[in-house]
Structure 1
Amino acid sequence: MSKNAKIYEVFPANANALPEGSGQNTAGRPQNPNLTDAVKTVRIQDFKQVYMYPCVRESLLTGIGGGFGVGALRVVWGTPIPKAANWAVGTFAFAALANYEFCQYKRMLEKSHMKRAVEIIDRKKAEKEAEAKAKREERRRLKEEADNKAEAKKSSWKFW
């Protein structure tokens, strides 16, 4: 190493790279996902139940209605049918996707509001329980004081 060499020049470019077999996987390198792996995860059952997923049914109906409306308007205005069909398909895709994303956003907001409501209800419940416990303790203390006063008033002997 030369006297005026800088430290960052001494180390190789891959100095921070993980060594082979460092726990990424058995081969030592992370596997990149590919299209065949993705296709293997798709099942026919998924397509049969697509309407059951949240927001999908409403989004598809909105897309179908919007696509039909825009396609019909384009045909009425004199656009050739293939071009109007392209507009209908594009409108379907855009409207369905936009409605789906908006619905997911509303669900996320609703979930966060519900979480907040549950936290508030739990906090109020804890406050009420603490208040009830304090009242019970106060009643118990007052009863003990009254019992002690009554006991003190009693004499230790009686006439028969």
Structure 2
Amino acid sequence: MSEREDKSLIIFGRDVSKIPCFRNSLLYGIGGGLFCGLFRFMFTSHTLKSVNFSVYSFSFITLGYWIQCRYNYSKTKFEMMRLQEMLQNHAILEGTQEAEIIEKELGTRPVDV
């Protein structure tokens, strides 16, 4: 086993290092929660309220970043699948009569890669 496999954290049978957006969401949540808790403590000097505020901030920031990141991830993945399908269709139609008909209708020739 390599060192990389030994250091991975497995929760509920899944390796969390392979979950998209998990690391960044957790890091932003920890940093934001710590900052908000310390900021609240500096102005109120109430330890328990500051800790509660820190935990709430951590939860809110982590969840908010997770939702935003996963939305962008899903959107990008969908666009890549769509582009891959279009490239496969272009490769299949290249040099056929259907491709010539499409070129005449569009008035342009597709860009060669």
The answer to whether 1:103 aligns with 2:69 is yes
Q: What is the aligned partner in structure 1 of residue 43 from structure 2? A: 77
Q: What is the aligned partner in structure 2 of residue 93 from structure 1? A: 59
Deviation at 1:78, TM superposition (A): 2.3
- The one-letter code sitting in structure 2 at the alignment partner of 1:114 is M
Q: What is the aligned partner in structure 2 of residue 46 from structure 1? A: 11
Deviation digits for residues 88-114 of structure 1 (CA, Å, limit 9, x no counterpart): 000001111111111111111011101
Instruction: Compare relative contact order (CA 8 Å, sep 6+) and give the higher one, 1 or 2.
Output: 2
Q: What is the aligned partner in structure 2 of residue 124 from structure 1? A: 90
- The one-letter code sitting in structure 2 at the alignment partner of 1:96 is T
Deviation digits for residues 37-72 of structure 1 (CA, Å, limit 9, x no counterpart): xxxxxxx94268334322111110010011011001
Deviation at 1:128, TM superposition (A): 1.7
* 1:15-34 equivalent positions in 2, closer than 5 A: none
The answer to whether 1:66 aligns with 2:32 is yes
Normalising by the residue count of structure 2, what TM-score does the alignment of the two structures yield? 0.68
Normalising by the residue count of structure 1, what TM-score does the alignment of the two structures yield? 0.50
**Unaligned 5+ runs, structure 2:** 1-8, 101-113
Give the whole-Å Cα distance in 1 for the aligned partners of 2:15 and 2:84. 31
Q: What is the aligned partner in structure 2 of residue 8 from structure 1? A: none
Report which of the two structures shows the higher radius of gyration computed on alpha carbons.
1
CA RMSD of aligned residues (A): 2.3
- The one-letter code sitting in structure 2 at the alignment partner of 1:58 is N
Q: What is the aligned partner in structure 1 of residue 5 from structure 2? A: none
Deviation at 1:74, TM superposition (A): 0.4
The answer to whether 1:114 aligns with 2:73 is no
Provide the secondary structure at the position in 1 that maps to 2:44.
Answer: coil
- The one-letter code sitting in structure 2 at the alignment partner of 1:46 is I
- The one-letter code sitting in structure 2 at the alignment partner of 1:89 is V
Instruction: Give the total of aligned pairs.
Output: 89
